[in-house]
Chains A and B, each alone.
Chain A
Amino acid sequence: MNTVIHPPVIEIEKLWTRFGDHVVHQDLDLSVNQGEILALIGGSGSGKTTLLRQVIGLETPASGSVRVFGQDVGHANSEQMQALRHRWGMLFQHGALFSALTVFDNVALPMRELRSLPEDLIRDAVLQKLHMVGLSPANAQKMPADLSGGMVKRVSLARAIALEPELLFLDEPTAGLDPHLSDSFVELIQSLHQAMRLTVVMVTHDLDTIFALATQIAVLADRRVVVKDTPDKVVTFAHPFIEQYFLGDRGRRALAGMRATGGGSSST
């Protein structure tokens, strides 16, 4: 198996996005390989979340193609799209848990939707998934409204990985979490990445998260991806946005932290 060269998991070519007269993406190209943890960064309004939504088919670009697992998202029929949806999971910024369902039912929903797994297997698998994200069975019967922000993120992550996806999208995974919770969330994603051989695409502003987690960084500026490379190469890339982003006070602190721990190693 190792000799096989995998095609890119995500391939974006010549993508254009327009909101009225406002052009957000212009001839944007990006490819994500298997096993990468890609951080998508860019200024506010640079269209990071829009790009993510286009990849998972929630929005359609004005022109250009998005292929995930070799399947063109814009031209997939409903069956192909459903097959794709089983292969990816998404963690929304605010969790997007179904507020009418308990924590347990939220995580069980994707498994129950397959309509063939026995209920006792679902029960054990859900509790196992909750355990993986650090939640005890005592939390399973709670309603999403009774959870703290960090717990909502964890439950949402458990739901995103419920069907063992190969590709995980994270929208601002650590926004709104305190530093300690962010760290443990980063560790959690790292361990899941190893345990499940995931490809991860995340949109985040948190420099610590980027340097602790990302094996690749794609910088969205000037309406396109200006560079996509390993973190240590990206920070030395000459571009005004990158200098401003990484070489401010916060950036330097996070960078020093990365070099000290040796995190953010290049991908295989």
Chain B
Amino acid sequence: MPHLEPDMPRLNISNGTSVTASGCWQVHALALPDVMPALMQQIGSLPEPAEASWDLTGIEALDHIGAQWFWNIWKKKRPRQLALALMQEGHFRRIEQAGELVLPAERRRALSLAQVWHWAARLVHHLFGLTMLIGQLMLDIAQFARQPQRGPWKEISANVFHAGYRALGITALVGFLIGIVLSYLSSQQLHTFGGDIFIVNILGMSIIRELGPLLAAILVAGRSGSSITAQIGVMRVTEELDAMLVMGLPHGFRLIMPKVIALALAMPLLVIWTDAMALLGGMAAAHIELGLSPVYFLQKLPSAVPLANFWIGLGKGLVFGTVIALIACHFGLRIRPNTESLGHGTTISVVTSITLVILADAVFAIVFSGVGFR
């Protein structure tokens, strides 16, 4: 038997059937290292509770967790003979009176047909909610158009500032770098085939038509989409959303529409900005790698990229901005008042809006497959 300090919980078994306990049977003594393993070793040699006599009067201090330990060892009933001090009696009477407490079985989390059905129902629920949101947005915009002087101008302007102006730095940086990367990659390949001057066509088309809008949209989805969702979610947690309704400030008109309009305005502008920065990066890399002068690059650009591509890019910006704002608001309004839901809602909002942006991009590619090429 290992050496134990005087106030450690100890069990002493004599003539096979009588057990005396001594020491301190409180949770902090039980939680000391080695105490539990030592007690667990002794369990095997303990007599059956039905024919044993236990003496706990030598215990210095007992608390509910210590008492619960004895109770579990006794298989949840009193042993044949039991000597208790007055204070200890209270603990055991309490446990006894509580009766058997059983934790309800946890629900299985296996993949079943019901689970699939549940997911499908959730998807339908989200589609339904999104449709309602779009419908409400149309009504709000109609109201705004009827009475523009009563519209939420301040909110729109604040949102343009936050989603647009504040995003200029990051979109410029990412756009410039992607422009450099793309230019280096293509120029190496083109150089092998002696088609150096086509770098303008490749960069111009890909950036203005595809990459500029997509890059800006993904950055804005990460930046503004998450912040919109979290903001609306926290407003739910702090009951601000309810306070708005009570004061007669509809969510759609004062909260959602300003964000959608602001992003629909700011995104095309960000697209132009990202295009310009990415082309600048591409131009610089082409100058270094292929010796192509920036002046030639800029002169060649209008003839290499028909203007239609620029308009398609702007249209994409408008659609992507609207999608991001709508998705962010949709998931923000569905956040329930707890921390986990807030984190989960924000994640799913960003993931969904990026996915939908790419989906919309694919739709653009198919619909405008015959436009803007020569």
Q: Determine if B339 and A100 form an interchain contact, defined as CB atoms under 8 angstroms apart.
A: yes
User: Which of chain A's residues has its CB closest to B71's CB?
Assistant: A124
User: Which of chain B's residues has its CB closest to A163's CB?
Assistant: B27
Task: Say which residue of B40, B94, B103 sits within 8 Å of A140 (CB atoms).
Answer: B103
User: Which of chain B's residues has its CB closest to A97's CB?
Assistant: B338
* A–B Cβ pairs within 8 angstroms, 17 of them: A99-B338, A114-B27, A115-B31, A116-B32, A117-B30, A118-B40, A120-B72, A124-B101, A125-B68, A128-B64, A128-B98, A131-B98, A132-B94, A141-B104, A143-B338, A144-B338, A164-B26
Q: Does B5 count as interface, using CB distance less than 8 angstroms?
A: no
Q: Does B65 count as interface, using CB distance less than 8 angstroms?
A: yes
Q: Given the complex of chains A and B, what is the CA–CA distance between A118 and B41 in angstroms?
A: 13
User: Which of chain B's residues has its CB closest to A124's CB?
Assistant: B68
Which chain A residues lie closer than 8 Å to B30 at the CB level?
116-117
Task: Say which residue of A124, A127, A129, A141 sits within 8 Å of B106 (CB atoms).
Answer: A141
B interface, over-half SS: helix
Q: Does A70 count as interface, using CB distance less than 8 angstroms?
A: no
User: Which of chain B's residues has its CB closest to A99's CB?
Assistant: B338
Q: Given the complex of chains A and B, what is the CA–CA distance between A138 and B90 in angstroms?
A: 25
| Interface bracket on B | 20 to 34
Interface bits B210-248 vs A (CB < 8 Å: 1, else 0):
000000000000000000000000000000000000000
Q: Determine if B104 and A121 form an interchain contact, defined as CB atoms under 8 angstroms apart.
A: no
Q: Determine if A164 and B106 form an interchain contact, defined as CB atoms under 8 angstroms apart.
A: no
Q: Does A179 count as interface, using CB distance less than 8 angstroms?
A: no
A interface, over-half SS: helix
Which chain A residues lie closer than 8 Å to B72 at the CB level?
120-121, 124
Which chain A residues lie closer than 8 Å to B95 at the CB level?
128
Interface size on A, residues (CB 8 A): 33
Q: Does A86 count as interface, using CB distance less than 8 angstroms?
A: yes
Q: Determine if A127 and B103 form an interchain contact, defined as CB atoms under 8 angstroms apart.
A: yes
Which chain B residues lie closer than 8 Å to A86 at the CB level?
28
User: Which of chain B's residues has its CB closest to A98's CB?
Assistant: B339
A157 to chain B, nearest CB (A): 14
Q: Does B69 count as interface, using CB distance less than 8 angstroms?
A: yes
Q: Does A53 count as interface, using CB distance less than 8 angstroms?
A: no
Q: Does A137 count as interface, using CB distance less than 8 angstroms?
A: yes
**Tally of A-B Cβ pairs under 8 angstroms:** 84
Q: Does B118 count as interface, using CB distance less than 8 angstroms?
A: no
Q: Determine if B90 and A195 form an interchain contact, defined as CB atoms under 8 angstroms apart.
A: yes
Q: Given the complex of chains A and B, what is the CA–CA distance between A48 and B297 in angstroms?
A: 72
A197 to chain B, nearest CB (A): 9
Interface bits A96-125 vs B (CB < 8 Å: 1, else 0):
001110001000000100111110110111
Which chain A residues lie closer than 8 Å to B64 at the CB level?
125, 128-129, 132, 164, 196
Q: Does B191 count as interface, using CB distance less than 8 angstroms?
A: no
Q: Given the complex of chains A and B, what is the CA–CA distance between A54 and B213 in angstroms?
A: 54
Interface bits B28-40 vs A (CB < 8 Å: 1, else 0):
1011110110001
Which chain A residues lie closer than 8 Å to B90 at the CB level?
195
Q: Does A256 count as interface, using CB distance less than 8 angstroms?
A: no
CB-CB contacts below 8 Å: A52-106 with B: 86, 98-100, 104
Inter-chain pairs besides A111-B27, A138-B104, A143-B338, 15 sampled, C-beta below 8 Å: A116-B32, A123-B103, A124-B68, A125-B64, A127-B101, A128-B64, A128-B68, A128-B95, A128-B98, A131-B98, A137-B104, A140-B103, A141-B106, A145-B336, A196-B63
Q: Determine if A116 and B35 form an interchain contact, defined as CB atoms under 8 angstroms apart.
A: yes
Interface bits B88-116 vs A (CB < 8 Å: 1, else 0):
00110011001001111010000000000
